[in-house]
Amino acid sequence: MAEGAAEAPAESGGGGDSGAGAPERGVAPIKPQYLTTKEQFHEFLEAKGQEKPSQEIKTGDPGSNDLAEPEAKRIRLEDGQTGEVAEAGEQPQAQKRARGQNKGRPHMKPTHYDKNRLCPSLVQDSAAKCFFGDRCRFLHDVGLYLETKPSDLGPRCVLFETFGRCPYGVTCRFAGAHLGPEGQNLVQEERVQAPPVRNGLDKALQQQLRKRKVRFERAEQALRQLSKGHVPGPSPEATVPEVSGAEGAPGQDSGDTQPAVPEPGAEALASGSVRTCGPLTDEDIVRLRPCEKRKLDISGKLYLAPLTTCGNLPFRRICKRFGADVTCGEMAVCTNLLQGQTSEWALLRRHPCEDIFGVQLEGAFPDTMTKCAELLNRTIEVDFVDINVGCPIDLVYKKGGGCALMNRAAKFQQIVRGMNQVLDVPLTVKIRTGVQERVNLAHRLLPELRDWGAALVTLHGRSREQRYTRLADWEYIAQCVAAASPMPLFGNGDVLSYEDANRAMQTGVAGVMIARGALLKPWLFTEIKEQRHWDISSSERMAILQDFTRYGLEHWGSDTQGVEKTRRFLLEWLSFLCRYVPVGLLERLPQRINERPPYYLGRDYLETLMASQKAADWIRISEMLLGPVPPNFVFLPKHKANAYK
């Protein structure tokens, strides 16, 4: 699992209720003139920075600082008893231990999107009538829709300016920029272009996946060899899944021209042949030998880790702009991909700026992983495929995936060998040091992974049990470099400055993967390449958020649903960005990744607002970029909702 989504920013680690004094362990060393108390910090923000907070500190119950916390959290103490004293004569009731899912948390999925929603046939200016007719649950009266539509959020539409046409028409929250006097959707013919994002899911392929009509002959042949104990090798009889229409070869843009599988009852193709469109190449009929596979030479490059939730395409574009060399999509579950789930295939999308891009797959069984690898090999454009063997969450681990594969050597071997057999691109693996805290397994697995055919391995210097309670063990990573040789080994863990990256490279690793460090400060890639500390201003950081918002509207859409989805992912990212401490405020450089900021007042109001760890202040920042939030809006970061426990 990606590091970014699994760790929660601590709210109390800073101990910020005390002003200047001796630096505490785990607290960022901030200059005394900037330190403040929790009360003064929030008083300053509530005053919107117009006046300095009073120097008086409210006295009374020391527990009053937690009044903003939920009731269930406020009354819960370490010993499991309530904070209230039972009345005389009453028997104190035993506190029931919370178990299972946290079903009391607010639901994140909004329900107001479907209210008074315009029919897609009208939004897309389709000449044909609505397929559902009178049974359609959406509105067909544009005038009625406009009466209930929220007001526009701004005068400029990102999609209209970028692509010459906004596909959302009157439903766009910036529709005033491209609606004519009679409500028609304007088009800039000279600027019209298709969105450049690649690796989309073809509707015909999705339908066949849902009906289980796709055949995986190469995967099935490799699985048969593995079941018999034979090491799979290249075979000239191996064929790709049967398709009709255009066949996209690896390395070809397949965003809108992906292969469609044959309709049921279609004439079967000759054995070993594929119906193609265009000139016939050797790659269409001759299976690549292992030595002919494309090589993955990324030694010395900066690798952005696959970050669940936060490592979306707009965020990767931000990191690419600041110097990330290699990017990888969010973890995708292979069974969901084989079922044709749109949300899972969206994790595979690639922007043209991502010149070295891979996707990460998670699964527990050789058959699904091998079939999924064959499917992706023929339908999307990637430079490598990564296997997630580092996910620590119970949801994945208890099903035998993620870290559990480190203890299932036989299945692990079949997955690696099977996927490597059906892929024309390099196969990489991401692992941890082990499962138990004091039982390291990586040094034993690395030579085997090299023999199984892995082109590169990334080692996160923590075990599953440790999570983020310990620092990454770079000494052990250095020992594993020799065990993996000559296979390149990337290291991962606790890199938040160029000094950290330099120390990591001294261990002999081929490169460094950056995860949480990129979430806290995406300009870390620039700092590493330029070997300097960047004292970035609050206005520059706000400009980064504005770029993320623009990229998000391009990616998720400019209608109400797209705007709120952009806001949600922006808030998820802000829950990590608040942990960054500006360079000019630190007594000692650099900030370490396990040091949480105490309460401090920044050099301006915006810098102080960005340091807040309250969701209400993150929402305030989102309103500066995306307008007011909808009624009854609730946000609870995933990593604060026990979603990964």
As given in the structure block, the two tokens for residue 319 are 């990191």
Catalytic entry in 391, 403, 480, 578: 391
CA nearest to 550, candidates 156, 142, 10, 148: 156
CB 582 within 8 A of CB 611: no
The bridge status of strand 384-389 relative to strand 357-362 is: parallel
Distance from chain centroid for Cα 406: 23
Q: Kindly give, in sequence order, each residue whose CB lies less than 8 Å from that of residue 426, ignoring residues fewer than 6 positions away.
A: 293, 294, 295, 296, 383, 384, 385, 455, 456
| Known active-site residue 391 | yes
Phi, psi at residue 340, to the nearest 5°?
A: 75, 30
Q: How far is CA 131 from CA 116, 136, 138, 322, in A?
A: 19, 8, 12, 47
> Over 20-50, what HEC string results?
CCCCCCCECCECHHHECCHHHHHHHHHCCCC
One-letter amino acid of 134: D
CA distances from 513 to 141, 224, 510, 628 (A): 52, 36, 10, 37
**Look-up of token digits 């035998």:** 400
DSSP-derived 3-state class of residue 498: helix
Pairing of the two strands 327-333 and 357-362 = parallel
| Distances from the Cα of 34 to the Cα of 29, 31, 122, angstroms | 11, 6, 55
Kindly state the tokens that stand for 8. Answer: 């929660």
DSSP string covering 95-127, please? PPPP-S--TTSPP-S-SGGGTTPBPHHHHTT-S
**Cα 546 to the center of its chain, rounded Å:** 19
CB 104 within 8 A of CB 72: yes
The Cβ-side half-sphere exposure at 276, using a 13 Å CA radius, reads 15
* Distance separating alpha carbons of residues 48 and 507, to the nearest angstrom: 48
DSSP 8-state class, residue 583: G
Q: Which residues are designated catalytic? A: 391
